[in-house]
Structure 1
Amino acid sequence: MDSMIIEIFLLSIGASFVQRTTGFGFGIFIMTMLPAIMSSHGEATTLSGILAMTTSLIIVIQKYRFIVWRRLLPILLTFIVVSIGAIFVLKRMEYSILNILLGITLVVVSIYFSFFSKRIKVKTTLPVQITAGTLSGLMGGFFGMQGPPAVLYFVNSEKDKEHYLAVTQTYFLVGNIMMTIARAYNGFFTTTVSMGYIYGITGVVIGNLIGAWVFRHITGSLLKYIIYAYIGISGLTFLFEASHS
């Protein structure tokens, strides 16, 4: 039990730091190891979700004045519908093939955006928002890692890093609230998850404070490349897990 407390605490610091610095990645970071600590994948995604939700809440309180709702609501509503549907079929999922396909996709997307980001102009049209929301919903519902599709949209559609951080964290906050309700309905919100949250919340606060300091010293252009690199890392993580499953 003592080792579990320490592991969740340290993972929460790292995940919260990544989320506060890049605007996403809490689930990607913590879910590389959390399923091995928790008794089920569903419990792991639930704990990841409520800890990430707390991280996002802290940021939203700080950045709410930068939220532009007309660019947020279509992708957010799409995400909620798709992710809840994915959670309800979670118990019947086979992960290995999906992990491989998802990992390859994320690596390719990361490389493409890294080299061609200056030529990419993401329009805030309804089809683009619905597509990003659908992909994000599938990743969030199945893997607790809804960040990459939404982040690629927001980082290329928002005018500066403050607006980017505000809309991404509002997106993750509302999305994680809805997914937590769906997971609780499906029996994934257990006593173990509640205890894990108590262990991790202090780590969330610490990681958030460190990440906030780093974020202040990152330029908008550098932030984009950090995000693209981390998406690539997350793809490699999926492939690594698939090869060892």
Structure 2
Amino acid sequence: MIDNIVIELFLLSIGASFVQRTTGFGFGIFIMTMLPAIMPSYGESTTLSGILAMTTSLIVVVQKHKYITWSRLLPILTTFVVVSIGAIFLLKRMEYGILNVLLGITLIITSIYFAFLSKRIKVRTTMPVQVTAGGISGLMGGFFGMQGPPAVLYFVSSEPDKDHYLAMTQTYFLVGNLIMTLTRAYNGFFTMTVATGYVYGIAGVVVGNVIGSWVFRHITGSLLKYIIYAYIGISGVTFLLK
């Protein structure tokens, strides 16, 4: 049984890291479709997802740090940090069944949005938009460990090219996941099981990042993205039916 969990964590980490490296987001969305089923609690699942995603982002930030523009990053990041901390404290008081339903609905809406609506909706890079995107991202990150979609929508509109986009999103996720991990640890979600899972998953993160880096340089990912969106939507339906 333990061997099966090790293999599952390794493969999930490869897939999640690959998605994050090729699209700039999606680590939490991908891995949280299955991680709650193999971890002892939902809080531990989001904690493990967060520290693995943080490692993925760190690799990219080291590579792309010269493209970071803090003036465009700080308002949305600050809002995210405040809201996500509050959501994590609420998480301790919520029932797993309710979280399953909320996660399923979130996954379905996310897949529909990115598959059909993301190219049609243009977002202005104003302060109210930054605060709104950071707030929604904070709720999604604190509850589900998947803060990407609202932030991605903002950074796609605000950044001039893919290198700036990748640097800004990964810095956002790196800092955000660091803060959330500290908050989750304070709330008792950082357990020995999480630490062990990180050891098993980190090799998958490295493999997925290497493959994703190659794809990012050589292949247009439109078809890949739609496959991922379909997978996310199906996973959301599965959570609703549990």
Pair 142,59 (structure 1): closer, same or farther in 2 beyond 3 Å: same
> Counterpart of 1:8?
9
CA-to-partner distance for each residue in 1:20-68, whole Å, 9 max, x for gaps? 1101111111111111111111111100100000000000000000111
> Counterpart of 2:27?
26
Alignment gaps of 5+ in structure 2? none
Greater Cα offset, 122-131 or 229-238? 229-238
Q: Contact 2:103/2:236 (CA < 8 Å) preserved in 1?
A: yes
Pair 197,104 (structure 1): closer, same or farther in 2 beyond 3 Å: closer
Q: Contact 1:109/1:232 (CA < 8 Å) preserved in 2?
A: no
Q: Contact 1:148/1:231 (CA < 8 Å) preserved in 2?
A: no
> Counterpart of 1:109?
113
Give the deviation of 1:99 after TM superposition.
3.3
> Counterpart of 1:194?
195
Alignment gaps of 5+ in structure 1? none
CA-to-partner distance for each residue in 1:121-160, whole Å, 9 max, x for gaps? 4221100001110111000000011111111111122111
SS at match of 1:89: helix
**Within 5 A, what are the aligned runs for 1:8-157?**
8-93=9-94, 94-114=98-118, 117=119, 120-157=121-158
Pair 96,33 (structure 1): closer, same or farther in 2 beyond 3 Å: closer
Greater Cα offset, 187-196 or 88-97? 88-97
Give the deviation of 1:75 after TM superposition.
0.5
Q: Contact 2:58/2:170 (CA < 8 Å) preserved in 1?
A: yes
Pair 96,210 (structure 1): closer, same or farther in 2 beyond 3 Å: closer
Pair 103,53 (structure 1): closer, same or farther in 2 beyond 3 Å: closer
Q: How many residues are matched?
A: 238
Pair 46,7 (structure 1): closer, same or farther in 2 beyond 3 Å: same
Greater Cα offset, 180-189 or 233-242? 233-242
CA-to-partner distance for each residue in 1:95-127, whole Å, 9 max, x for gaps? 24423542453244235435xx2x644221100
Runs of 4+ off more than 4 Å: 225-233
* Distance across 2 between alignment mates of 1:228 and 1:123: 25
Greater Cα offset, 203-212 or 98-107? 98-107
Q: Contact 1:84/1:141 (CA < 8 Å) preserved in 2?
A: yes
Q: Contact 2:115/2:229 (CA < 8 Å) preserved in 1?
A: no
Task: Compute the TM-score of the two structures, normalised by the length of structure 1.
Answer: 0.90
Name the % identity.
Answer: 67
